């Protein structure tokens, strides 16, 4: 019986994450819609494809825009090895599969913070269910780094229990840090792996954290070197601090309950700022509750995710010179589409809310074997009841965001709003491109339209 229990635990431990990853990948794919999923976006048909054609498969650590893009370039290389007409489809599928794999990892790694598996599944599903995800960042490699950024805190904070697990996490840490430079924001969480519990006198750090720490620091150092040595176009403008703060309330926070994000601007113009501030206060109250009463590990992960949400938003605006008058919105501002930085910031904020809710429920119920989450004799029943209520209210907040973002698509049987929704689809253009190459033997490259630019495809691949 004991052997059967061990086998069953092992099977569930594999099937659970696999099922979560599969569901996240499929849902993310379905939310794209058939046209967007078959349209090449931005750098996928620009610099990534151009450098893959020029340099071959040795372009993996080629800097672009001031940082490295390891995982996106691996996917582009793999997609380019297929017949040309399948390039767009392979990119979308590959990107969704990477997000699914990241979700499966979050489901496993969050076990040390969130005990009940349904709450971990909800947390892991945030990337696929984020209302703003399909608008620009989902289903393409150009924005895949945002999803790996949301994985970074869980990789860094996790306490491995074997050298094999530590080695595997080190590989993941390399993929994350060599793809997303802003993962440096989460490097302090490495201390949670070294000192998983408050150390007593004579306590020793956990050396199993060494592989992930070494790889994460090396990857972050590589990104810093590249950022300092790679020229970047100066920002055309400097946003005002008040606009940065107001924009965070309008776009990343507003995008959690208004899929268009800029719909919030219309509400602010019509009813005042309370429509943007109240939802933010609800979320921040949940985060503060988890920080005050939650276990130490959950406390630091929530702080890291919430802080990174604002810092990522602010850094993107300053680095790219996005100067919009969000503090004093105008009707013209309401007509602008949401920024991709809003989706990235919202992804981290919704992850923080899901983590806080799950941690509060785990702490209040005293289950799951989470360090610091067990019931204490000094913790009264009223406190546990209040913590449980706050946690489940937090779950309701996360679920409400998901329902608001996804339900209209389910009811209308329509894909989410996307900048690629109008195409142009890649595959239907390839026969004409191949015919043009065959008609002119001296032609080296042929242009294929993408969104929002175009790609130059070698005729050698089309003839």
Residue 255 lies in a domain: yes
Of 295, 259, 290, 254, residue with least CA distance to 393: 290
Of 349, 361, 362, 355, residue with least CA distance to 283: 349
Shared-domain flag, residues 304 and 451: no
Shared-domain flag, residues 323 and 387: yes
- Please determine, for residue 201, whether its predicted confidence score (pLDDT) is greater than 60: no
Shared-domain flag, residues 362 and 451: no
Q: Distance (Å, rounded) from C-alpha 30 to C-alpha 434?
A: 30
20-48: per-residue pLDDT in tens?
999 999 999 999 999 999 999 999 999 99
305-329: per-residue pLDDT in tens?
999 999 999 999 999 988 889 898 8
Residue 442 lies in a domain: yes
Of 144, 161, 159, residue with least CA distance to 68: 144
Shared-domain flag, residues 436 and 347: no
pLDDT band at 187, cuts 50/70/90? Answer: very high
Q: What is the pLDDT of residue 266?
A: 86
Shared-domain flag, residues 278 and 352: yes
pTM of the entire predicted model? 0.92
- Residue 206 CB partners (closer than 8 Å, separation 6+): 159, 193, 194, 195, 196
Of 141, 5, 157, 159, residue with least CA distance to 69: 141
Q: Distance (Å, rounded) from C-alpha 183 to C-alpha 181?
A: 5
Name which of 28-32, 48-52, 115-119, 228-232 the model is least confident about: 228-232
Q: Distance (Å, rounded) from C-alpha 307 to C-alpha 300?
A: 10
Shared-domain flag, residues 378 and 432: no
Neighbours of 231 (CB within 10 A): 6
Residue 422 lies in a domain: no
Residue 206 is encoded by which pair of tokens? 């956990």
Q: What is the pLDDT of residue 226?
A: 95
Residue 76 lies in a domain: yes
Shared-domain flag, residues 393 and 452: no
Of 460, 453, 461, residue with least CA distance to 47: 453
Shared-domain flag, residues 308 and 450: no
Shared-domain flag, residues 174 and 28: yes
State the Cα torsion 14-127-224-213 to the nearest 10°.
Answer: -30
Contact 290, 301 (CB under 8 A): no
Name which of 149-158, 229-238, 246-255, 302-311 the model is least confident about: 229-238
Residue 397 is encoded by which pair of tokens? 């907040």
Shared-domain flag, residues 395 and 454: no
Number of domains in the chain: 2
pLDDT band at 456, cuts 50/70/90? Answer: very high
Shared-domain flag, residues 227 and 292: yes
Q: Distance (Å, rounded) from C-alpha 319 to C-alpha 339?
A: 14
- Hunting for tokens 């190459």 — which residue is that? 437
Q: What is the pLDDT of residue 199?
A: 47
Residue 421 lies in a domain: no
Shared-domain flag, residues 342 and 439: no
Range of the domain at 450: 427-461
Cis check: omega of the bond before 157, within 30 degrees of 0: no
Residue 420 lies in a domain: no
Residue 418 lies in a domain: no
Residue 196 is encoded by which pair of tokens? 């998983």
Residue 201 lies in a domain: no
- Hunting for tokens 């300092």 — which residue is that? 228
Residue 138 has, within 13 A of its CA and on its CB side, a CA count of 33
Name the helix (H) or strand (E) containing 287. Answer: helix 274-293
Contact 221, 213 (CB under 8 A): no
Of 77, 157, 30, residue with least CA distance to 415: 30
- Supply the DSSP string of 144-164, one letter for each residue: HHHHHHHHHHHHHH---SSHH
């Amino acid at each position: 019986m004991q052997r059967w229990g061990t086998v069953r635990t092992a099977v569930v431990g594999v099937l659970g994450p696999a099922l979560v990853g599969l569901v996240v990948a499929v849902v993310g794919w379905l939310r794209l819609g058939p046209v967007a999923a078959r349209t090449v976006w931005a750098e996928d048909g620009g610099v990534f494809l151009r450098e893959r054609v020029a340099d071959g498969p040795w372009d993996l650590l080629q800097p672009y825009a001031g940082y490295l893009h390891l995982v996106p370039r691996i996917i582009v290389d793999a997609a380019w090895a297929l017949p040309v007409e399948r390039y767009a489809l392979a990119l979308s599928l590959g990107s969704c599969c990477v997000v699914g794999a990241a979700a499966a990892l979050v489901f496993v790694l969050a076990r040390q913070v969130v005990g009940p598996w349904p709450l971990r599944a909800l947390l892991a599903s945030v990337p696929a269910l984020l209302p703003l995800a399909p608008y620009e960042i989902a289903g393409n490699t150009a924005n895949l780094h945002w999803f790996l950024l949301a994985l970074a805190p869980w990789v860094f904070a996790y306490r491995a229990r074997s050298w094999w697990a530590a080695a595997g996490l080190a590989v993941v840490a390399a993929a994350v840090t060599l793809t997303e430079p802003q993962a440096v924001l989460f490097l302090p969480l490495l201390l949670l792996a070294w000192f998983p519990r408050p150390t007593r006198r004579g306590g020793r750090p956990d050396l199993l954290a060494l592989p992930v720490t070494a790889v994460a620091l090396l990857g972050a150092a590589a990104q810093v070197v590249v950022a300092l040595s790679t020229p970047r176009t100066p920002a055309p403008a400097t946003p005002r601090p008040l606009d940065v703060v107001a924009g965070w309330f309008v776009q990343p926070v507003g995008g959690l309950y208004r899929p268009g994000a800029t719909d919030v601007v219309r509400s602010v113009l019509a009813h005042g700022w309370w429509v943007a501030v109240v939802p933010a206060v609800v979320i921040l109250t949940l985060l503060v509750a988890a920080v005050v009463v939650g276990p130490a590990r959950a406390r630091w992960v929530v702080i890291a995710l919430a802080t990174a949400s604002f810092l990522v938003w602010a850094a993107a605006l300053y680095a790219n010179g996005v100067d919009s008058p969000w503090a004093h919105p105008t009707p013209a501002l309401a007509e602008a589409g949401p920024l991709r930085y809003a989706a990235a910031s919202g992804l981290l904020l919704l992850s923080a809310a899901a983590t806080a809710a799950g941690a509060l429920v785990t702490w209040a119920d005293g289950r799951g074997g989470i360090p610091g989450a067990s019931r204490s004799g000094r913790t009264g029943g009223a406190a546990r009841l209040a913590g449980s209520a706050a946690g489940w209210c937090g779950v309701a907040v996360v679920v409400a965001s998901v329902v608001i973002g996804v339900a209209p698509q389910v009811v209308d049987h329509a894909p989410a709003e996307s900048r690629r929704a109008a195409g142009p689809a890649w595959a239907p253009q390839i026969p004409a491109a191949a015919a043009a190459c065959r008609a002119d033997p001296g032609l080296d490259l042929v242009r294929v339209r993408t969104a929002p630019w175009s790609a130059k495809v070698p005729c050698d691949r089309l003839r």
